Structure 1
Amino acid sequence: MPVAVVTGASSGIGKAAAIRLAREGFSVSLSGRKEDALKETADECIKAGLKQDQVVLNVGDLTDFDAAKKLIENTLAKLNTIDTLINSAGILTNGEVNSTDIEVYDKQMDVNVRSVIYLTKLALPHIIKSKGNVVNVSSIAGPCPFPGVTYYSISKAALDQFTKCLALEMAPHGVRVNSVNPGVIVTDIHKRAGMGDKDYEAFLEKCKSTHALGRAGDVDEVSEAILFLATSRSSFTTGELLRVDGGRGIMFPR
């Protein structure tokens, strides 16, 4: 049975990816900051067909390098191997450059880039052994610019370049590295970034005009793309930035 490490598994895309991988027959090592929410994901993975000992919980903040080390160590101790790493943990910060403190940039890059690189470095020796793969959860804000979320966009652009460069470095080892680049997906990330209920409803309504398919996406649509990249279905795909964005990235004002 293959083993997937999934970060950000307590909510949103990470939670949906964990459940989808469990349904596909992966053992899962789940990482998140909120223990109760992580337990809910674990319960859903068990409902999807896994046994209790095929689901490992790891509570901690991955910007803490000790937590990242414990995640890898705990996964190996209980599941013996790592076949795929799903880097889904991330945050969104709002604000224009001229009015947003540089400390916000530091936090954004620490969570979305630095911690991802460090965890990936820890996992790679084991992924090389299993001839596995890495899937990063990026954003359409990586390749496409949007005002008011510059620091977030920079972090996702960095993650995209990390994906492509690492894909070239890992190819000789038989390891694939890809990312998904979602458009607006209905999760709690925008509210956690400070958006109120009324503004969020207006934001989702606006998605009808900013996405070619006329709506925001849902987490299950992204989890299917993650599953594709995490399995042999994409055996000849590496360095890919797979847009799951409802056409948002090809929309231009006219």
Structure 2
Amino acid sequence: MSFLDKVVLITGGSSGIGAATAVAFSREGANVVIVGRNEKKLNDVIEKCTVVGNKPLSIKADITHEGEAERIVKETIEAFQKIDVLVNNAGLVRFAKVLDSHVLETYDLIMNTNLRSQIKLTHLAAPSLIESKGNIINVSSIAPKIKPSNPEMILYGLSKTAFSYFSRAAAAEFAPHGVRVNTVSPGPVETDIMYNAGVNKSVSDTDLKLPLGRISQPEEIADIILYIAGDKAIAITGSDHTIDNGFLLKF
């Protein structure tokens, strides 16, 4: 598999799945653009990518802020003249129950980050993706596929359910233009996303009691993203790919 001279734009590229995906695409010859809010972490990813491939373009930005999505696309096109692959990976977890006083504040934060910004970036990148006959990978979650048993996770699950639906709808809209849109839905992955939400770092794969007795590493998700984005997956669009170590077998 080779992405030589392909331009890959990755949001949430400073850590976790986004960082692993950036390194994987760099290794395959791609020109990678990584977007994130943490400059130090972005620099760490730049170093890792440069060891195995081309030095990526790093854009420090918060995709929820007005004008940032436009700047991201503009700087990418100015640097590489096109976009071949868009990986909508940025996202966050925050906790709120319906009865909590901060439920609407949390709703706005989650939906702006996990859905609205992804739709906007897809809209802005669309002309270039149509011209290049490229494709989009949306990183969702298994949250829409499980019972809503944790009231504090309802808003996260809602955002990812909407995002997965958006992906299928976008796949139908973009298909006549030769652009594929697919979803990757990870279960538990060893990343910063839960830790940033205040989850205890001592939680282990044993605590989660997954059927395969393990949780995924970001590189495993990156491998699936690379395959779906590549020419061998030319017939795959509107699909949702679950990587969960058997988590859904519990439901």
Name the TM tier (shorter chain): over 0.9
* C-alpha contact (below 8 Å) 2:97/2:154 kept by paired residues: yes
* C-alpha contact (below 8 Å) 2:88/2:139 kept by paired residues: yes
2:177 is aligned with 1:173: yes
Measure how far apart 1:212 and its partner are: 2.0
**What is residue 76 of structure 1 aligned with on the other side?**
77
**What is residue 27 of structure 1 aligned with on the other side?**
31
Measure how far apart 1:203 and its partner are: 5.0
Measure how far apart 1:247 and its partner are: 1.4
**What is residue 131 of structure 2 aligned with on the other side?**
129
* C-alpha contact (below 8 Å) 1:187/1:219 kept by paired residues: yes
**What is residue 63 of structure 2 aligned with on the other side?**
62
How much identity, in percent, do the aligned residues show? 37
When residues 205 and 94 of structure 1 are mapped into structure 2, their CA distance, relative to the original with a 3 A threshold, is farther
Between the aligned partners of 1:65 and 1:22, the Cα distance in structure 2 is 29
**What is residue 154 of structure 1 aligned with on the other side?**
158
Between the aligned partners of 1:203 and 1:47, the Cα distance in structure 2 is 31
Measure how far apart 1:23 and its partner are: 0.7
Secondary structure in 1 matching 2:67: helix
Matches for 1:100-249 after TM superposition, within 5 Å? 100-146=102-148, 147=150, 148-197=152-201, 201-207=202-208, 209=209, 211-249=210-248
4+ aligned runs moved over 6 Å, structure 1: none
RMSD (Å), alpha carbons: 1.2
Secondary structure in 2 matching 1:4: strand
* C-alpha contact (below 8 Å) 1:145/1:153 kept by paired residues: no
Measure how far apart 1:65 and its partner are: 3.2
Unaligned runs of 5+ in 1: none
Measure how far apart 1:191 and its partner are: 1.1
> What is the TM-score when the length of structure 1 is the normalising length?
0.93
* C-alpha contact (below 8 Å) 2:62/2:68 kept by paired residues: yes
Between the aligned partners of 1:123 and 1:183, the Cα distance in structure 2 is 28
Between the aligned partners of 2:121 and 2:144, the Cα distance in structure 1 is 20
Between the aligned partners of 1:62 and 1:188, the Cα distance in structure 2 is 18
Secondary structure in 1 matching 2:216: coil
